[in-house]
Structure 1
Amino acid sequence: MTPADIAAAETILGVTFTIDERALMLDNLEAQIIRARVRRGVDLGDAPPASTFDPRLPGFVMPQGTGMLRLLPVDAPLPDDDDDIAFAPVTHLAHWIRQGALTSARLVEIYLARIARLNPTLNAWATVTPDIARAEAEVVDALTREGVSLGPLHGVPYGLKDLFDTKGVTTGWGAEPYADRVPDTDATIVGKLRRAGAVLLGKTTLGALAYGDLWYGGRTRNPWNPEEGSSGSSAGSASATAAGLCAFAIGTETLGSIVSPSQRCGTTGLRPTFGRVSRAGAMPLAWSLDKVGPICRTVADTGLVLSVLNGGDTADRGSIAAPFHWDASKPLAGLRLGYLPEAFGGGATDLDRTALNTAKSLGLETVELTLPDLPYESLTNVLFAEAAAAFENLTLSGRDDELTWQDAPAWPNAFRKARFLSAVDHVQLDRLRYRVMQAVDALFRDCDVVIGPMGTANMLTATNFTGHPCLHLRSGFDRLATRPPGALGSSAGPARPTDGTLHRVPHGISLWGGLFNEGPMLSVGQALEAAFDVHHIRPEI
């Protein structure tokens, strides 16, 4: 080790020391490196960090309520057409099954037929499990005939993002090194869904290691324009739900992976409060950021599915036991809707501004908000470091070269670069994160729900790091050329060169709510869904 080595490292770390200071460091740098190498020689297995993230600031009071879900009644009759049944809301499907008008077995066959016909185009399923689906449907239907219901999702078929363990079924994480991985146990939420009566159709695709929409089976496609990807990383969950290949699907979000494919595919995605849903048995990408939530076709469906997923779990160190309550029949009177004016400025679309005006027309008290000027994007280095730690063995073994990337080296390269991030800077990032938590908390002192475009005014980044919930729903349609591959599904940005063809594609708006207080956000979302009246329009695929 020489002073010249230290000087070269300073360039990478963005710091500067004097010649004398470099000389002083030589006596202990070797020992520091040795300690690091000794630690790398220990296989940490699936051990999580000892420190856990808690989104609750001092003085936080858990929202009070009945701890129950109350949805609007369903009175629609069962359609004759199989496609109409396939696209029906979960609330309707569950109602028809309970009433005996529809069997789970018939619904499973409807979806399996659609998967066989459309998945070769969409590439939204990593593994289809027809035997499991038919067996589970048979059990559910037998119980229905006996007058027994397992729960609110009794007989409803769903897709599961392929980073959740399923006993005896490949869980490949979208990445070549793990393509043959077969777990021995189920993830916690798999058991929850089964006990609530949900029927597993199979595993939906994700971008490799939860990045984008490219996986070892190719690119997952947007049903509204199959020439472009569905965005990610919950790529298959959004594509399959939008195309009517399942009743709903489960996604995860670390930094946009539920809301972004929902924006691209026109689905309704709910990212719950950090800690509300167990991640036990899920691939860890970033322990302090990963969140689990439903991707559906209606707001009510997301609330219904979340009521099943909700609950504390000692197997997940980040889990927080919290009641979930939403009364969908409760009027909006008294709710305050906040917005950041700059979010609807030059970077916004006419559809975004129309969505804000529609929200204002609901009779809510509207409040202009301001976020402090903080380096929010700097927080993404936390994500890179946690992800690099989660996949350290992949990087240091050289197996990261097995992943194929058509667009960019993505995670493997980010993992490598994260090795050069300063530990001191990371402690400071943790302190910055606390400042951001205080800033976002202040927003919800002045309002109950915030509205804005998905990726503007720092809300996507800020709220993922603070743990606040987000609901993204379709607000209208745009006509756009095929968009380039990328991790985020924003309608903004340059299109790749094409023949000039414009495609009718969905556009959405985001709502954010207070910690563990998704109810008001869902109520505003349900009212907006009715006002927009576009959620029922299907892709022509």
Structure 2
Amino acid sequence: MTSFSEDVYFATVTELNARLLKKEFSATELARAFLARLEKLGPRYNALALLLRRSALEQAKRADDEIKRHRLRGPLQGIPFGAKDLLSVAGQPTSWGARPYAGQVFTHTATALHKLERTGAVLIGKLAMIELAGGGGYRWAAASLTGPCLNPWDTTRWAGGSSSGSAAAVAAGLVCFALGSETWGSIVTPSAYCGITGLRPTYGLVSRYGAMALSWTMDKIGPMCRSAEDCGLVLKVIAGGDWQDPGSAGKSFYYAPDTVPPLKELRVGFAPADFEEWAEPAARPDFLKALETLRGLGVQMKEASLPDYPYSAVASLIIDTEGSAAFEDLIASGKVEELADAKQIAGLKAGLDVPAKDYLRAMRIRRLIQQDLRKLFAEVDLLVSPARFGPANKITEPLDRPRTERPRPQRRGLSELGAAGNLAGLPALVLPCGFADGLPIAIQLVGRPFSENTLLAVGRLFQQVTDWHRRRPPVPSE
């Protein structure tokens, strides 16, 4: 088998595509190398759910044949990637990270994966996840069929959830990019913890057909990559209307970061309290440097805060109610007891008992939140905050306890931007921005619905003047 340097495994989409077109190596050679690396190192991080060797090599051979005939399909042609194991692949197991669904096989392939296949991307594996994407809530990082997903930067730490394997695999150079999903934090958190670039698209921009449903009104599929540019290239392919997804916005996406307004015209809202009080002390220096880097790009920095709503409570109630409804048959059958996390079992059961009036009240408040956030975005073009206030948890720590004994800051700032953004279906881009205690930290940019090009343009420029997204974890030798 062709021998590759570590630089290949940590290359961006555009870098690998250029080398494929120059015939430095073939798509088949590249696929074999990534398959071997994923098979060997994926289990070390509990990141691999299923290797797809046979179909991957078939896809790679097709890519080689088309490249040879100069039938080029774009920068993703021949590029190895992975997908969170809630996206179905026809004829292959899709376990949703949960023991009750181990061996589950669908006859259809998820729309997002089908689109990537048509452009010549090579799916080499299904990647581990928190069981049922965390529906019902969970206490431990081990709430997964594959065990706790370990962070490549420090295997005593968690990779984040619920798109755990997707983040760990990209960070460790096991795939070039991956697809994850987010209902509330499941792209943002693991991207931040593992030091990769993640994009949560606007609700409805990417079809969820063929994806496990957790919360019909909040689920989103998005790319987890090495750079903002890679996220844009992947989103261009997977976005678009789909009649098979009732929540589809019917919109496509064309990656064109050069078409956004000049940076000097962009107003970026931030809350000093997020960086000075909410952030963990070890993370504050690099978070504050990231703010200065943004300011140095020429944008207008403007203090902002969220309108006063119980964002987390509203998001929790909606997700708990919709999640329990989605898994009503599992709960009724008693197989819910096979899940790994006791808190999750109890949470799924409790969600069936939420009164309809409480759910409807939460949805009414959600509508008010969306209206007031629209007003906020009349004053700013983007919001920036820490993606998470500190680095990754230890895998032995319960996730439902406060990480610190520090008093809760009095200034709210944008501390609930994760819940608010998901309730309003807003896009977010996660950008690595430094380290705390030797572990990655990241900022997030959040914009108006369908403002992905603006987020990506700012993200691309941020990454042109920083190299945090280029840093590599201490991956063991193969």
| TM-score where L is the length of structure 2 | 0.88
| Contact 1:451 1:511 survives alignment (8 Å) | yes
CA RMSD of aligned residues (A): 1.6
Aligned twin of 2:275: 344
Aligned twin of 2:396: none
Q: Does 1:449 align with 2:382?
A: yes
CA distance in 2, matches of 1:509, 1:347: 13
Aligned twin of 2:428: 470
Q: Does 1:187 align with 2:110?
A: yes
The alpha-carbon deviation at position 281 of structure 1 amounts to 0.7
CA distance in 2, matches of 1:214, 1:418: 18
Q: Does 1:390 align with 2:326?
A: yes
Higher mean C-alpha displacement, 418-427 vs 222-231: 418-427
Given candidates 244, 248, 252, the residue that maps to 1:315 is 244
Unaligned runs of 5+ residues in structure 1 are 1-79, 480-503
The alpha-carbon deviation at position 227 of structure 1 amounts to 1.6
Aligned twin of 1:304: 233
The alpha-carbon deviation at position 319 of structure 1 amounts to 0.2
Letter of the structure 1 residue corresponding to residue 421 of structure 2:
T
Task: Give SS of 2:155's match.
Answer: strand
The alpha-carbon deviation at position 294 of structure 1 amounts to 0.3
| Contact 2:39 2:51 survives alignment (8 Å) | no
The alpha-carbon deviation at position 135 of structure 1 amounts to 1.1
User: Identity across aligned pairs (percent)?
Assistant: 39
Residues 166-185 of structure 1: pairs in structure 2 closer than 5 A: 166-185=89-108
Aligned twin of 2:78: 155
Letter of the structure 2 residue corresponding to residue 444 of structure 1:
F
Given candidates 328, 340, 349, the residue that maps to 1:404 is 340
Task: Give SS of 2:131's match.
Answer: coil
Letter of the structure 1 residue corresponding to residue 467 of structure 2:
D
The alpha-carbon deviation at position 107 of structure 1 amounts to 1.1
Aligned twin of 1:375: 310
The alpha-carbon deviation at position 133 of structure 1 amounts to 1.0
The alpha-carbon deviation at position 347 of structure 1 amounts to 1.3
CA distance in 1, matches of 2:444, 2:224: 14
CA distance in 1, matches of 2:14, 2:113: 20
Given candidates 512, 515, 518, the residue that maps to 2:449 is 515
Which deviations, in whole Å up to 9, do the C-alpha atoms of 1:500-520 show, x marking residues without a partner? xxxx21111110011011111
Aligned twin of 2:409: none
Which deviations, in whole Å up to 9, do the C-alpha atoms of 1:315-334 show, x marking residues without a partner? 00000122424433455232
Aligned twin of 1:253: 182
Q: Does 1:287 align with 2:245?
A: no
Taking a change above 3 Å as real, the CA distance of residues 173 and 447 of structure 1, as seen in their structure-2 partners, is: same
CA distance in 2, matches of 1:297, 1:470: 16
Aligned twin of 1:439: 372
Which deviations, in whole Å up to 9, do the C-alpha atoms of 1:267-298 show, x marking residues without a partner? 11100000000000110000000000000011
- Report how many residues are paired: 436
| Contact 1:209 1:411 survives alignment (8 Å) | no
CA distance in 1, matches of 2:252, 2:116: 18
Which deviations, in whole Å up to 9, do the C-alpha atoms of 1:448-504 show, x marking residues without a partner? 11111125521000000100000011101111xxxxxxxxxxxxxxxxxxxxxxxx2
Taking a change above 3 Å as real, the CA distance of residues 161 and 430 of structure 1, as seen in their structure-2 partners, is: same
Aligned twin of 1:534: 468
Task: Give SS of 1:445's match.
Answer: coil
The alpha-carbon deviation at position 229 of structure 1 amounts to 2.0
Q: Does 1:415 align with 2:344?
A: no
The alpha-carbon deviation at position 341 of structure 1 amounts to 3.1
Aligned twin of 1:19: none
The alpha-carbon deviation at position 213 of structure 1 amounts to 6.0
Unaligned runs of 5+ residues in structure 2 are 135-140, 389-413
CA distance in 1, matches of 2:62, 2:424: 42
CA distance in 2, matches of 1:441, 1:366: 19
Aligned twin of 2:39: 116
| Contact 1:214 1:220 survives alignment (8 Å) | no
| Contact 2:325 2:352 survives alignment (8 Å) | no
CA distance in 1, matches of 2:433, 2:211: 31
Looking at CA atoms only, which structure, 1 or 2, has the larger radius of gyration?
Answer: 1
Given candidates 72, 82, 85, the residue that maps to 2:8 is 85
Aligned twin of 2:130: 207
The alpha-carbon deviation at position 81 of structure 1 amounts to 4.6
CA distance in 2, matches of 1:304, 1:255: 24
Q: Does 1:333 align with 2:239?
A: no
CA distance in 2, matches of 1:324, 1:88: 24
CA distance in 2, matches of 1:311, 1:98: 27
Q: Does 1:427 align with 2:350?
A: no
CA distance in 2, matches of 1:475, 1:223: 17
Task: Give SS of 1:210's match.
Answer: helix
The alpha-carbon deviation at position 415 of structure 1 amounts to 1.3
Q: Relative CO higher for 1 or 2, CA cutoff 8 Å, sep ≥ 6?
A: 2
Residues 211-222 of structure 1: pairs in structure 2 closer than 5 A: 211=134, 214-222=143-151
| Contact 2:287 2:434 survives alignment (8 Å) | no
| Contact 1:213 1:229 survives alignment (8 Å) | no
Higher mean C-alpha displacement, 307-316 vs 349-358: 349-358
Taking a change above 3 Å as real, the CA distance of residues 180 and 148 of structure 1, as seen in their structure-2 partners, is: same
The alpha-carbon deviation at position 256 of structure 1 amounts to 0.3
